[in-house]
Amino acid sequence: MKHYRFFAGLFLSIILSIPSLSYGDGEKLQVIASIFPIADMARQVGGNDVEVTTVVPAGASPHTFEMKPSLIKTFASAKVFLMIGAGLEFWADQLIQSSGQKLKPVVLSDGMALIRSADPHHDDSVKEVPLAPKSAHTEHAHSHDLHTGNPHIWLDPHLAKTMVTRILEALSIADPAHALAYESRAKAYLGELDALDKGISDTVNQFKTRQVISFHPSWDYFAARYGLTLVGVIEKTPGSNPTPREIAGIVSSIKAYHIRAVFAEPQFSPKVADVIANEAGVKVLILDPLGGETLPGRNTYIGLMTYNLQIMKEAMQ
């Protein structure tokens, strides 16, 4: 983090000395974000100087998103495309190419140590699950994780801070005239993310249950950051159902750890989660890894994380 701040500072002093490629009054920097959490971060940093479009709408999942040709126009008029990378935006290549040279994708996960499903650290915890068949845990990741790593970095506020720093750099390069404003908003927002992180830490430290059954492999970074253990995942590949054997494994994990709830997610059908919850005699609660502009309470990244923390509290405290 220190390095990023240093480079951001150095970098700003360089670009501020470049006479303006700047935007005229009222003309906002056009930014595209693949998913809502990135869009909110860009709005927090960009304020009134940017106009941010989110590609994946509220209620949809980036894992099952189908690119619409109408997006080509959006991409043609934008200057910055902010994306996670790690295979999350598998639908974006055509859009990036169609925009020609002027739209530079900013891959926010670049250089991060991504969690992989074959990560030995993760396999260790399998040994702690005496009743579960090993399939319940060994592959809790997207089918493509082995190659690209798990993309859900934004659900760890520490990595979110790195993302914000990168967004600051990207906006400042694209629109140097507003670099100072971007920097001061980013600084304030990074402070809010520190407070969020502390709030999550304090709450999670009081949890009685530290084992989690997640719906898809979205909470791996969150769990790693705050000391929770993922003991099962309902849809290892988002959108595809578990086998009866995998369901049985999840149910035995729930019983072994006295887990009180399984988590579903608003972007996918809760059907399988309901089946598992019924069989194990626990409830289904909704965790939301994505949020969206139109969802009250979940229409900022911080609001989204606060919502999720409340849900986890209900299940685990």
Minimum CB separation of residue 3 from Zn ion in Å reads: 28
Stretch touching Zn ion by CB under 5 A, among 10-18, 73-81, 102-110, 213-221: 213-221
Neighbours of 101 (CB within 10 A): 5
Radius of gyration of the chain (CA): 20
Are the C-beta atoms of 267 and 58 separated by less than 8 Å?
no
Give the pair of three-digit tokens for residue 93: 């290549």
Q: Which is nearer to Zn ion, 44 or 218 (CB)?
A: 218
Applying CB under 5 A, among 30, 165, 172, 218 the residue interacting with Zn ion is 218
| Stretch 220-239 residues interacting with Zn ion (CB under 5 A) | none
Give the pair of three-digit tokens for residue 223: 């769990």
Q: Which is nearer to Zn ion, 157 or 176 (CB)?
A: 157
Minimum CB separation of residue 69 from Zn ion in Å reads: 24
Neighbours of 302 (CB within 10 A): 20
Minimum CB separation of residue 99 from Zn ion in Å reads: 25
Pairing of strands 50-54, 211-214: unpaired
Axis crossing angle, helix 179-204 with helix 157-174, rounded to the nearest 10: 170
Residues that bind Zn ion (rule: CB under 5 A) add up to a total of 1
> Nearest-CB residue to Zn ion?
218
From the list 245, 294, 243, the residue with the least C-alpha distance to 266 is 294
Stretch touching Zn ion by CB under 5 A, among 41-49, 91-99, 190-198, 217-225: 217-225
Are the C-beta atoms of 212 and 223 separated by less than 8 Å?
yes
Q: Which is nearer to Zn ion, 189 or 221 (CB)?
A: 221
Q: Which 3 state secondary structure label does DSSP give 214?
A: strand
Q: Which is nearer to Zn ion, 147 or 258 (CB)?
A: 147
Number of helices (H) and strands (E) in the chain: give both, helices first: 12, 8
Stretch touching Zn ion by CB under 5 A, among 43-51, 94-102, 118-126, 214-222: 214-222
Stretch touching Zn ion by CB under 5 A, among 37-45, 111-119, 190-198, 215-223: 215-223
Count CA atoms closer than 13 A to 148's CA, side-chain side: 19
What residues have CB less than 8 Å from 96, skipping those under 6 apart?
Answer: 75, 81, 103, 105
Stretch touching Zn ion by CB under 5 A, among 101-109, 195-203, 210-218, 265-273: 210-218
Check residue 308 for interaction with Zn ion (CB under 5 A): no
Q: What is the largest CA-CA distance in the chain?
A: 66
Minimum CB separation of residue 167 from Zn ion in Å reads: 20
Q: Which is nearer to Zn ion, 114 or 251 (CB)?
A: 114
Instruction: Point out which residues bind Zn ion (CB under 5 A).
Output: 218
